[in-house]
Chain A
Amino acid sequence: MNTIYALWLRQVKKYFRSRSRIIGSLGQPVLFLVAFGFGFGAMYSKAGGGNYMQFLAPGIILMSVLFTAIFSGIELIWDRQFGFLKETMVAPVPRIQIMLGRTLGGATVATIQGIIVFLLTLLIGFRPEHLYMLPVALIFVFLVGLLFTSLGTAIASMLEDMQGFQLIMNFLVMPIFFLSGALFPMKGLPKIMEYVVKIDPLTYGVDGIRGALISLGDFSLGFDFMVLGIITFALLVFGSYMFEKIQA
């Protein structure tokens, strides 16, 4: 328990110490909000979709959660290259605790990042409908953070250096973002595209947080929660398994 907490705290401390990283990682969501939100806004409402900023903001919040979480998981490669991983690997604690501490830390950092972006969306014009649903949205944000930190950790356990990072960004993380319902509604998509969107786990995060904040969603909140919960659990188990197999 202590080990999990100590490693969790390590991740959170490191996050708050890298201010340039925090500020740097806010550039992209703001750019997306401004360019897409204002750029497509008129078209979207003409097509009868309503206010695009309202629709887009939850998706952009989760985009930053996704990127931060994957990155936190991938950071394992840095720990491996800079040696700290070995220190944790010879410690007399079960590796599952090390993995859990790191992953919970990464998910927490991603959640904080999500909250910061949420505050930014308020400045740009996003208005959540029900403030009492904010805790529910927060649960979804954390769950998405946990899911993708576990995925990042699992991937990082298989890689030895950062050379594969670009590959992961372009063939995994970007598709997960663009093919979720973050930017466009699912209704009226071509059938194949609809299937792709439906197997993207981020879709259920976006749907859940949209359901909580603006009462708009293709699935029920319970269903979103269940899908995310199951995938997160599976990835945690898989991530732990891969982590267990690391030999230094």
Chain B
Amino acid sequence: MNEETDNIISVENLVKKFKDFTAVDHISFDVKKGEIFAFLGPNGAGKSTTIKMLTTLLSPTEGKVIIDGHDPARHKNLARKSFGIVFQDPSLDSDLTAWENMHLHAVMYHMAANLRKGRITDLLKFVDLYDRKDSLVKTFSGGMKRRLEIARGLLHHPKILFLDEPTLGLDPQTRNHLWNYLREVNKNEGMTVFFSTHYMEEAERIAERIAIIDKGKIIATGTAEELKQETGADSLEDAFLKLTGSAIREEEASGLDRLRSMGKMWGGRR
């Protein structure tokens, strides 16, 4: 009973098929309110597909998802209000200024007009972009864009922030900066953070709990310590390799692998 209400995300037997190719294969997991949760897996493991299903961008083939009490497949707009998202690829309008991107988001998320200005100012200051608020986003570096996307994702006080490979292609300084921001919001506002990554050390350092996903399946869930103990490994990397090693790959035929990479190719264009 208590456990039910503690979970802000719960996923049961979630499946996504693209024609013959199963990108996500019966996965189940829960994320607690206020938790920092990592989805760790190699490229093409099904991380982005899962995040897309959790965030109403894709409808699942099978299974049940509950986001803050709502089913994202059926009550899309209720679910959408509860989360913010930072996509793997940039999703800013580069012909608009930083401020205009933030403002458009505030309007679409029905923020009261008198609160918008203050909140946007605060967040742009928070990610050190206030000086550049009137610059077009196309003049921004990759790191600045990512910071702006994070500020935008936080704008409407989401209960959950999804980040899909948020640190991909960022230098260590920016990466460090970014996690400092996010941990601060997580601590101060109790915001749940759900991120995907293929960097082991990032998952280990940042996340309270980790789900390891490979080839569409969740292989293990737990804290970094638990995962290490479970596998008797010294580091998360060893644990990961032990878990994703022989047992699963043997079952996969090479033909299926080819299909997977095709699926990735097509998936990447979506």
Which A residues lie at the B interface, using CB under 8 A?
Answer: 2-3, 6-7, 10, 13-14, 17-18, 79, 82-94, 160-161, 247-248
For window 66-101 of chain B, which residues contact chain A by CB distance below 8 Å? 76-78, 80-81, 83, 85, 87, 89-96, 100
Chain B: residues with Cβ within 8 Å of the partner, total of: 34
CB-CB < 8 A to B136: which residues of A? 17
**B107 part of interface (Cβ distance < 8 Å):** yes
Contact with B96, one of A13, A18, A94, A248 (Cβ below 8 angstroms): A13
With A13-B100, A82-B90 already in contact, 7 other A-B pairs whose C-beta atoms are closer than 8 Å: A10-B104, A14-B95, A84-B93, A86-B91, A87-B152, A91-B109, A247-B59
Contact yes or no, B91 A3, CB < 8 A = no
Bound-complex Cα distance A17 to B94 (A) = 12
User: Known: A92-B80, A161-B269, A247-B270. Is A87-B91 also a contact (CB below 8 A)?
Assistant: yes
- Could you write out 18 A-B pairs with CB less than 8 Å apart? A3-B107, A6-B104, A6-B107, A10-B96, A14-B96, A82-B90, A83-B89, A83-B91, A84-B92, A87-B105, A89-B57, A91-B109, A92-B78, A92-B80, A92-B81, A247-B58, A247-B270, A248-B52
Bound-complex Cα distance A88 to B57 (A) = 11
CB-CB < 8 A to B91: which residues of A? 83-87
**B247 part of interface (Cβ distance < 8 Å):** no
**B192 part of interface (Cβ distance < 8 Å):** no
Bound-complex Cα distance A90 to B109 (A) = 10
CB-CB < 8 A to A90: which residues of B? 55-57, 80, 83, 85
CB-CB < 8 A to A93: which residues of B? 77, 108, 110
CB-CB < 8 A to A161: which residues of B? 269
Bound-complex Cα distance A87 to B105 (A) = 8
4 interchain residue pairs of minimum CB distance: A83-B91, A92-B80, A91-B108, A6-B107
Nearest A residue to B76 via CB reads: A92
Bound-complex Cα distance A82 to B81 (A) = 23
Bound-complex Cα distance A10 to B93 (A) = 9
User: Known: A2-B107, A247-B270. Is A83-B92 also a contact (CB below 8 A)?
Assistant: yes
CB-CB < 8 A to B81: which residues of A? 92
Nearest B residue to A14 via CB reads: B95
CB-CB < 8 A to B52: which residues of A? 248
Contact yes or no, B270 A248, CB < 8 A = yes
CB-CB < 8 A to B93: which residues of A? 10, 14, 79, 84, 87
Bound-complex Cα distance A90 to B58 (A) = 11
Bound-complex Cα distance A69 to B76 (A) = 31
CB-CB < 8 A to A7: which residues of B? 104
A49 → B minimal CB distance (Å): 44
Convert B156-187 into 0s and 1s, putting 1 for each residue whose CB lies closer than 8 angstroms to a CB of A: 00000000000000000000000000000000
Bound-complex Cα distance A83 to B109 (A) = 18
Bound-complex Cα distance A6 to B111 (A) = 13
CB-CB < 8 A to A10: which residues of B? 93, 96, 100, 104
Contact yes or no, A247 B92, CB < 8 A = no
Contact yes or no, B95 A247, CB < 8 A = no
B154 → A minimal CB distance (Å): 14
Contact yes or no, B96 A86, CB < 8 A = no
CB-CB < 8 A to B107: which residues of A? 2-3, 6
Bound-complex Cα distance A93 to B80 (A) = 9
CB-CB < 8 A to B58: which residues of A? 247-248
Nearest A residue to B87 via CB reads: A86
A89 → B minimal CB distance (Å): 6
CB-CB < 8 A to A247: which residues of B? 57-59, 270
A163 → B minimal CB distance (Å): 11
B96 → A minimal CB distance (Å): 7
